[in-house]
Amino acid sequence: MTGAFPTRRVGQTSLRLPVLGFGTAPLGGMFQAVDGTEGAATLAQALDAGMTYVDTAPFYGFGLSERRVGDGLRGQSHVLSTKVGRLLAPGMTPAAAAMGWPEPLPFHPVFDYSYDAIMRSFEASLHRLGLEKIDILYVHDIGEVTHGENAQKHFREMAQGGYRALDELRRAGHVTAIGLGVNEAQVCLDALNVGDWDIFLLAGRYTLLEQDPLDDLLPQCVERSISLVIGGPFNSGILVGGDTWNYDAAPDTVRAKVRRLEAVCGEYGVPLPAAALQFPLAHEAVTSVLPGLRNRQELADALAWAKHPIPPQLWQTLKDQGLLHPNAPTPPSSSSPYLSPAP
């Protein structure tokens, strides 16, 4: 390993994560197939750079990401998270491309948050990964964004059965930490009444573009010693020059705000993606930031943005223009928080 990042503790566990992690939905071919050789090289370079926290899920390529991640991590020092909530059944679904996976493995996902399904999913992930340990286990995509009118049914299934499986796995030492991996803050707040969680992976909801959880979820996480991993720091691509937001075409209001953010960053000579990547890490609840990376060029860009100096005046200007929550913590100096000692 030629690089290293500061680490932060996960909840009240013994586990520590590097502040910059590696999200592997793209390695499962999200929206666009990824060559296996390029994916392996990207993961290897990320590990060498110090991005030793790697997140995957059965849903990513219907097992493809887990297989590629396991092959890349075997024999390497790492922290690994995967997810439960979808069982993979044999047989390709014609809806795979519509789900975002143009070239997945020949399976189809079935939602199941019950006790038995969580146990089966955990064991199946170990087989696909070819690893003996999973460090963090997240309940994946449980909430109204994914399930609509069925959300309450699935949540009850998790609360009345699935959580017990997660807690048993944690108590037995098969996993070190448990949590949710979701794209909405409200379900994390709801889950606080279910049991004792160590960590939440929240994608796209605490970013340079939107900070609503600052008023409710983040204070609760600090009070309860629950760590946050921030996924989707680029909001599905809109903050890195793309045109998607929330995995769909960005509306005009979002595009307009991004143009204003970009203009302020330009005044200070800072790439917008650098500000987007560094902003979330300033909050004390945030343990790691997890961009999804498709190839070695995207990895090189992310590493450069993570280290780019940003003057504190930039953050204040964003607040003055109403582009950033007035109470949002921001990096206190021009030195990147990815280079600062861990709290």
Strands (E), the chain: 7-9, 16-18, 22-23, 53-55, 79-84, 86-90, 107-111, 136-140, 177-182, 199-203, 227-231, 244-245, 248-249, 286-290
Contacts of residue 266, Cβ cutoff 8 Å, sequence gap at least 6: none
Q: Which of 35, 48, 83, 212 is catalytic?
A: 83
Distance, in Å, from the CA atom of 1 to the CA atom of 76, rounded to the nearest integer, reads 10
Distance CA 169, CA 174 (A): 5
Q: At what angle do helices 64-73 and 115-129 cross, to 10 degrees?
A: 50
* Whether 60 is catalytic: yes
Residue 83 designated active-site: yes
**What is the torsion angle, in degrees rounded to the nearest 10, for the CA atoms of residue 215, residue 9, residue 191 and residue 170?**
180
Residue type, 229: V
Choosing from 55, 135, 198, 301, the catalytic residue is: 55
**Cβ pair 240, 276 in contact under 8 A:** yes
Query: How is 156-202 classified by DSSP, letter by letter?
Result: HHIIIIIHHHHHHHHHTTS-SEEEEEES-SHHHHHHTTTS--SEEEE
Catalytic residue among 35, 48, 60, 215: 60
Q: Give yes or no for a contact between 39 and 27, defined as CB atoms under 8 angstroms apart.
A: yes
Nearby residues of 45 by Cβ (< 8 Å), 6 or more positions away: 296, 299
Amino acid code (one letter) for 100: G
Is 53 catalytic? The answer is no
Whether the CB-CB separation of 201 and 81 falls below 8 Å is answered with yes
Distance between CA 68 and CA 300 in Å, rounded? 20
Residue 289 three-state SS: strand
Residues comprising the chain, all counted: 343
Say if residues 337 and 283 touch (Cβ distance below 8 Å). no
Active site residues: 55, 60, 83
